[in-house]
Amino acid sequence: MAPNTHAHEHEELDEARSWAGDFDPLGDASERKVLFSAFDSFRQYRRSAHLTTTHRRRQAFYALPKEHWQMLSEPPFSLLDNFNKVDDAIDVNADLADAIVETGLSSFGLPANPDQTDPSQNWHGIATAADVNKAHSTIRQFYRDWSAEGQAERDVCYGPVLEDLDQEFPDKLDRDEYLRVLVPGAGLGRLVFEICRAGFAAEGNEISYHQLLASSWILNHTAGPQAHELYPFALHFSNILSREQQLRKVMIPDVHPGAAMLEAQSTTETPFGTMSMSAADFVVLYSNPSQKDAFDAVATVFFIDTAPNLIRYVQAIRNCLKSGGIWINVGPLLWHFEDSRQRTHSGNDDHEGEHDQGIGEPGGVELTEEEVFLLIERMGFRIEKRQSPEERPDCGYIQDPDSMLRPLYRPSHWLARKS
Amino acid sequence: MAPNTHAHEHEELDEARSWAGDFDPLGDASERKVLFSAFDSFRQYRRSAHLTTTHRRRQAFYALPKEHWQMLSEPPFSLLDNFNKVDDAIDVNADLADAIVETGLSSFGLPANPDQTDPSQNWHGIATAADVNKAHSTIRQFYRDWSAEGQAERDVCYGPVLEDLDQEFPDKLDRDEYLRVLVPGAGLGRLVFEICRAGFAAEGNEISYHQLLASSWILNHTAGPQAHELYPFALHFSNILSREQQLRKVMIPDVHPGAAMLEAQSTTETPFGTMSMSAADFVVLYSNPSQKDAFDAVATVFFIDTAPNLIRYVQAIRNCLKSGGIWINVGPLLWHFEDSRQRTHSGNDDHEGEHDQGIGEPGGVELTEEEVFLLIERMGFRIEKRQSPEERPDCGYIQDPDSMLRPLYRPSHWLARKS
């Protein structure tokens, strides 16, 4: 799993060379496979979504007794019409997947229709079911990070980070150089963008190619605000009050990153910060001596529970944070590696045991919140602020607010200072 | 899957012959296998819980760098001590599983240590992983149905049913004979018990042997109120604030069915109803002409979304309900068969296609709530009462109230009358 050893800042808002520099996943066979699988999984979105969503349901529908499916085909039910509408929604979502593939291929100089016999370019047909599932959830994630409707989810998770930064650095506009803020697990880049918009130098870090490809597209390649349609809930058929609910459409992005930057530049009040993204294993990159004392703040949102070994995360954050710098955290403790089989970001097990560093390192432990606090304090942080359980607002994750089943988080929000 | 064709009322509170009569799953090879798998899954609870919960985590723990696991082994973390406490909790839960096996075997006249060469009695070693998972969730379910702590979940789901029955039959005590109420999907029997305690003749129906074995034990074989310990949340390590939270203990049953009945008999104010349980496929049994117009009320709680084809459920309820009788429903629409592979109650696929009736019938459809209402009205019911989405209280399902992730239902509550 070579993203451990390669890293490069990319995705500057103001230039086109998103994936340039010394970041070269194509140079390593196993790394290339992970990247190609991500590409292929987006390419397969359209076919797999039709197959598993509507095709399978049509088969089950026509397997009902004839008088049943006939009744349900007619108004007021019109269920076959609904299958068609869901197919249309899938096609709209698949257009996003295709756009991600197209801009990504262009960045890497890869052909859309590769020579199937050339392993250095043949990215077709290699995605696993797990890869395809990730493509599906990544597309849905645009709802959370880049639609107006996702604002409520963002307010709960990103709001406290922006408030803490504002409170910690009230005089940031007077400084000559930007204050640097690191966002590990940057996902689709919204928090990085918001921190940048607040005037900081924001650096995102992300290991998943699914997220990197999708964030690159939304940050650098969309045509304008509200330019693209997304049907975040169309593929799911349970706990729904009405078909209108299932087929609700949102527009993305709610804010166009480029337009927002231009707008900010036209005023002097809120200077736009700089923005970058590193494609790397968080632990390996930010534990490196080259990153020592590099950041004024680290903001982890729904991130620390991706650690098999949280101690490594704390070490990395301590390394890259300046003395007196702050670590802001918002999130639950849904330990991602509780199921030990999910051990690599590609969803494949064939990389296991290859590494002695980073997220692929053996071993794992799941701490309680109480133990997380104890650990952080023991490792050279002072916890200055923590939200009590009663104060925590409920927070959905890509959650249809009208569903009859809502998995709601009560994320922990705290602030620790490197002492 | 012969429960489709065999059915018998059993589990009368006041007698011992729980599984007697013409209900004979041992007489059919495939049915016997399903029953034996359920027995075996409870037998395997202890070993499988230790293996997948603590053994696997100890391995991951010791695979951490030595200085990491050593630090986490010492106070204030003491994580190895916590693994030991979780093992103790597993053993306490496993005692419940063993008790279920013991009383169940006794009811069926099966040996605890069967002759491994005799297929008519060898119930050891045949449970699949899915069967074992069901045993785990069934043990946890005692929290919801039979602990004082589960009262909040029961209030939201069973409360409206008891209120509707009370409102519909205010003069029930003046009647010469009991009013009959059917509870499909009776699970661990708490709603059946409560309806019975309210003075009705309550009949539960259940197809799952896991549920039937566990409900038989809790209804007929526990020693008294608060007689047994249960650690409902000990096996899960995510979204926890403290180890005390993980190791919280509850006592079951909060109310002892036999004692409650004796107490009711000593007063004349609230005569105890009768109670029975049928082990059968709901659709097959209650669509039968012998059940025509048999019930004054049907109460479905978290049940209708177990239907592959809801039309069959509505037909069965219409058949067994008296003219003017009421159907009370509380629950979400989490269609259980959305994943078409989960097609039999045993979790195996090898029965597929054998039946043209009941839950094993081919075909499936997932309706919205709006469509459910349209269907019920079209099929001869008048909806007299329905709760609007805004009025619906949140409801967990075997939910640790302090977890940092709570999947909350907003179940639909409505009342329909057979017209």
pLDDT in tens, B31-51: 999 999 999 999 999 999 999
The CA distance from B249 to B348, in Å, is 33
B109 Cα to chain A: minimum distance (Å):
39
More confident residue, B172 or A28: A28
C-alpha distances in Å from residue B126, one per residue of A367, B40, B94, B121, B131 = 35, 7, 18, 12, 9
- Determine the pLDDT at residue A359: 78
- Determine the pLDDT at residue A50: 98
Best of A238, A400, A414 to substitute, by most chain B Cβ atoms within 10 angstroms, is A238
B364 to A309: CB separation less than 8 angstroms, yes or no: no
A366 to B305: CB separation less than 8 angstroms, yes or no: no
Give chain B positions within 8 Å (CB) of A64.
309, 311, 362-365
Give chain A positions within 8 Å (CB) of B353.
none
Cβ neighbors of A239 (< 8 A, separation 6 or more) are A403, A404, A405, B332, B333, B334
Strand A201-206, strand A180-184: pairing: parallel
Give chain B positions within 8 Å (CB) of A340.
56, 60
B60 to A364: CB separation less than 8 angstroms, yes or no: yes
On the question of pLDDT at A352 being above 80, the answer is no
- Determine the pLDDT at residue A179: 94
pTM: 0.91
The CA distance from B341 to A60, in Å, is 11
Report the complex ipTM. 0.90
Beta bridge partners, B415, equal: B328, B385
A13, A15, A21, A26: CA torsion to nearest 10: 80
- Determine the pLDDT at residue B25: 82
- Determine the pLDDT at residue A341: 42
In tens, the pLDDT along A148-162 reads 999 999 999 999 999
A405 to B72: CB separation less than 8 angstroms, yes or no: no
More confident residue, A299 or A263: A299
Give chain B positions within 8 Å (CB) of A246.
368
B368 to A245: CB separation less than 8 angstroms, yes or no: yes
Q: Considering only alpha carbons, which residue of chain A is nearest residue B310?
A: A68
In tens, the pLDDT along A90-102 reads 999 999 999 999 9
Cβ neighbors of A249 (< 8 A, separation 6 or more) are A89, A92, A229, A230, A231
Query: Which amino acid type is present at position A319?
Result: N
| Residues A150 and A180: beta-carbon distance below 8 Å | no
DSSP A395: B
B242 to A368: CB separation less than 8 angstroms, yes or no: yes
C-alpha distances in Å from residue A263, one per residue of A60, A257, B218 = 52, 10, 67
Alpha-helix residue ranges (DSSP H) falling in A77-236? 79-108, 129-146, 151-157, 159-168, 190-197, 209-220
Give chain B positions within 8 Å (CB) of A308.
60
Give the helix/strand (H/E) hosting A45: helix A45-49
On the question of pLDDT at A15 being above 70, the answer is no
Question: DSSP per residue over B289-314, as a string?
Answer: GGGTT-EEEEEEES-GGG-SSHHHHH
> Of B64, B240, B242, which is closest to A363 when you measure between CB atoms?
B64
Residue A171: band (very low, low, confident or very high) from pLDDT cuts 50, 70, 90? confident
- Determine the pLDDT at residue B221: 95
> Of B239, B308, B333, which is closest to A239 when you measure between CB atoms?
B333
A389 to B402: CB separation less than 8 angstroms, yes or no: yes
B252 Cα to chain A: minimum distance (Å):
27
Structure-token pair, residue B412: 């639909």
A408 Cα to chain B: minimum distance (Å):
5
Structure-token pair, residue B417: 């009358």
Structure-token pair, residue B57: 């985590």
On the question of pLDDT at A221 being above 80, the answer is yes
Pick the closest to residue A371 from B340, B240, B345 (CA basis): B240
Beta bridge partners, A297, equal: A181, A326
Residue A22: band (very low, low, confident or very high) from pLDDT cuts 50, 70, 90? low
Query: 């969730």: which residue's tokens?
Result: B137
Give pLDDT < 50 ranges for chain B: 1-21, 340-356
Structure-token pair, residue A166: 């504002």
On the question of pLDDT at A310 being above 80, the answer is yes
Domains and CATH numbers, chain A: 24-338+359-418 (3.40.50.150)
